[in-house]
A and B are shown apart, each in its own frame.
Chain A
Amino acid sequence: MAGAIFRSARVETLRIDWLDDFTILYHRASGITHLLNAPAPEILATLGEAGMTVSALADALALEFDLPDLETDALLARLNELATAGLVSTT
């Protein structure tokens, strides 16, 4: 999985709002509403539609969101959760 590219769902399939500390996301493709908290919204925003590997994602998150201690395994677990929810795809 180390070389796999993870991509966020296409932006036109997402409707995003915010309630308190939660990002609330309506996924038009599935009709499912998701309530996300950190680091899931940051992961989606950083991946983008172009996507990146998990190690590139860890570097980018560390740089952009000051999250230096993200372990690749933990990040991979979050990515797999987001993939199960249909918000991330992988190749």
Chain B
Amino acid sequence: MKHAFSVKIGPVGFRIGSDWRAPIERLAELYSGYPMPDDDVADFTVRLFAARFWRRFIRPAVTIGGDFVLPDAAPLPLAQALLAAEMGMNLQMALGQRRYLLLHAAAVERDGRALLITGVSGAGKSTMAALLSLRGWRLMGDEFALLDPATGLVHAFPRLVSLKNAAIGVVERAAPAHRFGPLMANTPKGDIRHLVPDAAAVAAMAVPARPALILFPSFGYAPVRRALAHSETFVRLTQASTNYVALGERGFTALTGLVKSVPSVAIDYPDTDSAISQVETVWAAL
């Protein structure tokens, strides 16, 4: 394509091609601290393109393409091309990743042990991962935790942290301004602003960690904690994995192994201070 950018995030190489220069320049700027894919060979390709030639210029609309696509995905305005790139990259991982069991979870690491934070959209995964990364935890990712069926270790996937709506203000108050991408207002996912992971997270992104705790947060309730049974955790994580079925027996082995070896706790929290405090309490009691 006319404009292109390659990046390695954790163990995964991406090549993003675009009909427009601006999104590529913005990606290159935000991912400037990241390495290139090994031997410059990408695992996945994302294409940001104009479905009709004139859509490059007149009310430009970004269609998301790549090795794996959703046929009925609506194009986004050019001002939201960064979101289009993120959605395209997520889609390649969700539909194409076969080496790791993909868990829709944020992950942070301390002392070589990983905390996985999973839950539905809006549960606070990205917010908690971002805030914990500003308090001494290593950010491993805010979207996908990559569980290696062979070792039981979690590999990092520290892409740009995707903050939505109220989470943007919460993290803006905690992180320096230069770490943020542009605010994209009124996207199909609400307001979006990306946080660039810190240099230490990028430098250590090839270092996996042993899972030590699985957290299921729910936002908007009085603080409550409860331990989850293995069976409930298993069912929830099959639902939180985009490729459990595709991995077949390897996925079964990986997930039963994880669930049996790592405690799971559900926490309800009314605000982020409560969430962080509960995380620290549960972690300290491990």
Contacts and interface: CB of A to CB of B under 8 A. Distances in A.
Contact of B249 (A15, A20, A22): A15
Interface in B251-266: 252, 256, 259-260
Tell me if B's interface is mostly helix, strand, loop or mixed. helix
B274 interface: no
Interface stretch (B19-27, B79-87, B230-238): B230-238
Counting contact residues on chain A (CB < 8 A from B), the size range is: 10 to 19
B178 to A, nearest CB: 46
A33 B260 contact: no
B2 to A, nearest CB: 42
B71 interface: no
A19 B260 CA distance: 8
Contacts of B230: 19-20
Contacts of B183: none
A56 interface: no
A15 B229 CA distance: 21
A21 interface: yes
Give the size range of B's interface with the partner: 10 to 19
B252 A33 contact: yes
B245 A35 contact: no
Contacts of B229: 19-20
A33 B238 contact: yes
Given A31-B245, A33-B238, A15 B231 contact: no
Contacts, number: 31
A17 B231 contact: no
B136 interface: no
B259 A26 contact: no
Interface string A19-58: 1111010101001010100000000000000000000000
Given A17-B256, A19-B259, A19-B260, A24 B249 contact: no
Contact of A31 (B235, B248, B256): B248
A26 B249 contact: yes
B252 A21 contact: no
A17 B231 CA distance: 11
Nearest to B235: A35
Contacts of A31: 245, 248
Given A15-B252, A19-B259, A24 B234 contact: yes
Contacts of B231: 19-22, 24, 35
Contacts of B234: 19, 24, 35
A-B complex: 6 closest residue pairs judged by Cβ atoms: A19-B230, A26-B252, A19-B231, A20-B231, A22-B231, A20-B229
30 contacts: A15-B249, A15-B252, A17-B252, A17-B256, A19-B229, A19-B230, A19-B231, A19-B234, A19-B256, A19-B259, A19-B260, A20-B229, A20-B230, A20-B231, A21-B231, A22-B231, A24-B234, A24-B256, A26-B249, A26-B252, A28-B248, A28-B249, A31-B245, A31-B248, A33-B238, A33-B244, A33-B252, A35-B231, A35-B234, A35-B235
Interface of B: 229-231, 234-235, 238, 244-245, 248-249, 252, 256, 259-260
